[in-house]
Amino acid sequence: MTLKELRKSKGLSQNEASFLLSIPLRTYKRLENDSSYVNTYKYKNVYTQISSFVASKKSRKIYNFVIVGAGYVGFSLAVLLAEKHHVTVVDTNEEKVSKINTRKPLFYDKEISYYLQNKTLYLKATTVNLDVYKNCDYVIISTPTNYDEESKNYDMSSVLSTIRDVRKANSKCTIVIKSTCYIGFTSSLKDNNIVFSPEFLREGKALYDNLHPSRIIIGGDQNKKEVKEFANILESFAVSPTKVLFMSSSEAEAVKLFSNSYLAMRVAYFNEMDSLLNSYGLNSYKVVNGVSLDPRIGDYYNNPSFGYGGYCLPKDTKALISQMSVISNNELLSSISKSNDSRKQFIINDIVSKLEPDPQNKVVGVFSLLSKTGTDNTRYSSVIDIVGGLEKIGTQVIIFDNEKMTLEDFKNKSDLIITNRYDSSLDDVAYKVYTRDLFKRD
């Protein structure tokens, strides 16, 4: 069977097939017309990926989902599920509710924008209303659980209030917590119809990661029909086969926290390496590349930066450190946040050294406040801390805003341009760009 015949047997258009494979349409068309291209190492699994897609909707049960919280996790999951099931999103933000109902994206995400424009979605949104819980099969909670510096733990109030609201209206539906929790939170609720299922999503790639999950983890009793069904629902959207792991809710909570703290540790490690190499005048690119080619280490999450940021890594690392404080030998975890703070101070000092002898009379242009490209989120961005450190010593800082200035004006006004991730639009002034982005790909 040719790739074209296989695609048609699954009821897919070329557009849908290219999207499922996450490749440009022109590339997919070439795959259909050139069998030798299909057999290259890069595309040898396209048959498997297309074959695993179930296009038929016959004999499929349609579930009613309520998703509380329209952030990265909640909204991306809502868009995913709404292709096959009825989904109602509940959020206190009326602007978000309006955007969802008019099929407008809430944040930058290429795949979400594609789905909103091109898919038939059984999706609606509303503000808080207990009636929406009455006839639903599943309630998915994805409200914010910010880290509280005073209590050294997550603020779980939004999750707890949502559970109370749901149980007032519906005592039987299964509640799935997607919000990040401390280890032991779900089991402390003593409700057998509440499970914890963590998400591992990248900002700007949330729907893509739902379609291509590294694993699906369910913290609940797999012998319960509703728990097993929920796992099957998530698995049915995976473009290619993925592992489904069942465990206790506390173990699932631990997977989430340890995964994010490991990633934070990895970022901190390569940043420390870069700081040391830079101090000795050595070529960081060559050393990091040489280290990363060891298959035990791997060529990923290794690009130095101004420090890790974003919503998850800082708060989840702090929360795990706090929870592990009962152990006397948790020095490794405790050092991660300290290392990140040291890295930001190193970057500030390094930038100031480029402005000598008179940093107070120089203008530093900040190309972007984002810690990573492909997002529109500045929460806990390391760049903001860098800006604060420069302003503290009296350096004038301007931040590029294409609504208030042209890129050319920004370049001309800046004595030094700093950017966490390099952009090709800066090529003509590369001589005055400061970045620790070695690979220009993350």
List Cβ neighbours of 367 (8 Å cut-off, separation of 6 or more): 400, 410, 417, 418, 419, 423, 426, 433
> Considering only CA atoms, which of 261, 87, 262, 256 is closest in space to residue 186?
256
Residue 295 preceded by cis peptide, ω within 30? no
Read out DSSP for 17-77? HHHHTTS-HHHHHHHHH-HHHHTSTTTTTHHHHHHT-----TTPPPPEEEEE--SHHHHHH
Paired with 356 in beta bridges are: none
At residue 53, does pLDDT exceed 70? no
Positions of E strands within 197-260: 216-219, 244-247
Max distance between CA atoms of the chain, in angstroms, equals 74
Which pair of structure tokens corresponds to residue 230? 């929920």
* Cβ–Cβ < 8 Å for 254, 187: no
pLDDT of residue 24: 77
The average pLDDT across 430-435 equals 96
At residue 151, does pLDDT exceed 70? yes
pLDDT of residue 56: 45
* Candidates 136, 173, 181, 312; catalytic one: 312
When pLDDT is cut at 50, 70 and 90, the band that residue 57 belongs to is very low
Q: Which residue has the tokens 């590029």?
A: 400
When pLDDT is cut at 50, 70 and 90, the band that residue 59 belongs to is very low
At residue 371, does pLDDT exceed 70? no
The average pLDDT across 387-407 equals 92
The burial of 59, by beta-carbon neighbours within 10 Å (0-12 exposed, 13-18 middle, 19 or more buried), is given as exposed
Domains, the chain, ordered by start = 3-51 (no CATH), 64-247 (3.40.50.720), 266-434 (3.40.50.720)
pLDDT of residue 373: 57
Residue 427, number of CB atoms within 10 A of its CB: 9
- Name the CA dihedral angle for 148, 151, 152, 154, rounded to a multiple of 10 degrees: -50
312 as an active site residue: the answer is yes
Which DSSP helix (H) or strand (E) runs through 138? strand 138-141
pLDDT of residue 58: 45
pLDDT of residue 46: 83
- For the entire predicted model, the pTM comes to 0.81
List Cβ neighbours of 364 (8 Å cut-off, separation of 6 or more): 351, 355, 390, 395, 396, 397, 398, 414, 415, 416, 417, 418
* Cβ–Cβ < 8 Å for 319, 257: yes
Paired with 88 in beta bridges are: 66, 124
The burial of 432, by beta-carbon neighbours within 10 Å (0-12 exposed, 13-18 middle, 19 or more buried), is given as middle
The average pLDDT across 210-231 equals 95
Q: Which residue has the tokens 């939004």?
A: 158
At residue 376, does pLDDT exceed 80? no
What are the C-alpha distances in Å from 78 to residues 99, 115, 152, 290?
A: 13, 11, 31, 42
At residue 160, does pLDDT exceed 70? yes
Rounded to whole angstroms, the Cα distance separating 305 from 174 reads: 41
218: left (phi over 0), alpha (psi -120 to 50) or beta: beta
Read out DSSP for 85-117? SEEEEE-S-HHHHHHHHTT--SS--HHHHHHHH
pLDDT of residue 342: 96
At residue 316, does pLDDT exceed 60? yes
Residue 419, helix vs strand vs coil: coil
At residue 375, does pLDDT exceed 80? no
Which range has the worst mean pLDDT, 56-60, 179-183, 360-364, 425-429? 56-60
Stronger pLDDT, 314 or 192, i.e. the higher one: 192
> Considering only CA atoms, which of 149, 385, 382 is closest in space to residue 267?
382
Q: Are strands 147-148 and 153-154 parallel, antiparallel or unpaired?
A: antiparallel
The percent of residues in the chain predicted with pLDDT above 90, rounded, is 67
Look over the chain and give the mean of its residue pLDDT values, rounded to a whole number: 90
